[in-house]
Amino acid sequence: IIERDYELGGILVQCIHNGFGLELLKEDLPGPAYAQRFIEEMLSLGVEALLNTMVMDITPNRHLFVSSKAHGYVEIEARAIVLAMGCRERTRSQIRIPGMRPNGVYTAGTAQRWVNVEGYMPSKNVVILGSGDIGMIMARRLTFEGAKVERVLEIQSYLSGLSRNLVQCLQDYNIPLQLNHTVKRIMGKNRVEAVEAVQVDEKWNFIPGTEEIIPCDTLLLSVGLIPENELSRKAGVKLDPITGGPYVDETFQTNVPGIFAAGNVVHVYDLVDWVSEAGFEAGKRAAQYAISLRNAEARYIPLKAGKNVRYVVPHKLDKSTLAQEDIRLQMRVTQPIEQPVWVEVHDGENLVTRKPEKYVRPGEMVTVKLRAKNYADVSKANGLTIDINPR
């Protein structure tokens, strides 16, 4: 494992709230405790971890160039690689908020690290832009530490994160959420003094006369996550413009043979348990490739996002894999549907399988399993489409 930080665990180190491991471990753990379970298991197997080590380049033939103070600049020739770089937060410059450029504008994850790891309190009066999970969790965390969270603003007409975080982090602490609102302007010279909030229409245009000045000393941004794939591009990995992550098959292998990807570097997950499961599968398949240095002959068919579906992962699957094991498809919807729906997988003419859901929302991942018993239907298909339709 090559890790650029000084400790293992990734983003989990700063996620000290509970809720991790409910599905995979059947326990309710804070992030560091969940990570420690796997760190100890990994070390017990004799796996080496290079800390404070940066991967500078990856080539399509699986050569890695890494740099560290301890080892200098080193070339590593790998038989297989698993990309697990996670994702990073979208910043102010990427959403183009007008106004002054004072201190006090941070991403929610940056504030999370300061409070939970470094022991610094970044603010007293906070406005949070975006209703992503990190933003809502930090609204609660800053409230615990004595800050006043004035409100959470969300430009969409619906929540960006999980409903459980809306209840547990905002509603339980009387923190207001305003949908169809955004920040029009940041005010302040040396430090943030206020933000100008405004209501928007369905096309995100400002509605004149709805402006409101909200005094605050900090603006936290929770406006989306971007899979961190600069190294993937260097390796020749093809990226999906919708997810920002690599195109992968059901084994999490990219278009470059021997290079696999798992977790938030592929697409943003809701639950760490699902990230871990993806890591298990990618690691198993990478090990199989490393032993043989070749792929079994694949008969791929593409998976297409259909009605009301924004994207689906994996992007393609090998029919022969489905003959042996179930394959879980993961997707997000384009808009909320607050009524019972069918998640349907079909080949254009015939229905392969379908699953009922009580509702679907963009902030909550939808899954459906293709089971081995569906192989007879899939084996004749040239491609599969996933639609979500009201029941």
pLDDT one-digit tens code per residue, 318-345 = 888 888 889 999 999 999 999 999 999 9
Q: Is residue 144 classed exposed, middle or buried when 0-12, 13-18 and 19+ CB atoms within 10 A define those classes?
A: exposed
pLDDT of residue 8: 97
| Per-position DSSP letters for 250-312, written without gaps between them | TT-B-SSTTEEE-GGGTS--S-HHHHHHHHHHHHHHHHHHHHHSSPPP--EEEEEE-TTEEEE
312 neighbors 304 (Cβ within 8 angstroms): yes
Q: How confident is the model at residue 138 (pLDDT cuts 50, 70, 90)?
A: very high
The string of pLDDT tens digits covering residues 296-319 is 677 899 999 999 999 999 999 988
pLDDT of residue 372: 86
pLDDT of residue 349: 85
The string of pLDDT tens digits covering residues 99-128 is 889 999 999 999 999 999 999 999 999 999
Q: How confident is the model at residue 88 (pLDDT cuts 50, 70, 90)?
A: very high
Report the predicted TM-score, pTM, of the whole model to 2 decimal places: 0.93
Q: Is residue 125 classed exposed, middle or buried when 0-12, 13-18 and 19+ CB atoms within 10 A define those classes?
A: middle
Give percent of the chain with pLDDT exceeding 90. 90
pLDDT of residue 298: 76
The dihedral region occupied by 208, where left means phi > 0, alpha psi between -120 and 50, and beta the remainder, is beta
pLDDT of residue 59: 97
Residue range 269-284: average pLDDT?
96
pLDDT of residue 380: 81
Domain ranges within the chain, ordered by starting residue:
91-223
Q: Is residue 131 classed exposed, middle or buried when 0-12, 13-18 and 19+ CB atoms within 10 A define those classes?
A: buried
Residue range 39-47: average pLDDT?
96
What is the overall mean pLDDT for the chain?
A: 95
pLDDT of residue 311: 98
91-223: CATH homologous superfamily?
FAD/NAD(P)-binding domain (3.50.50.60)
The string of pLDDT tens digits covering residues 202-260 is 999 999 999 999 999 999 999 999 999 999 999 999 999 999 999 999 999 999 999 99
C-alpha separations of 216 from 128, 146, 199, 356 in Å? 10, 14, 18, 45
pLDDT of residue 296: 65
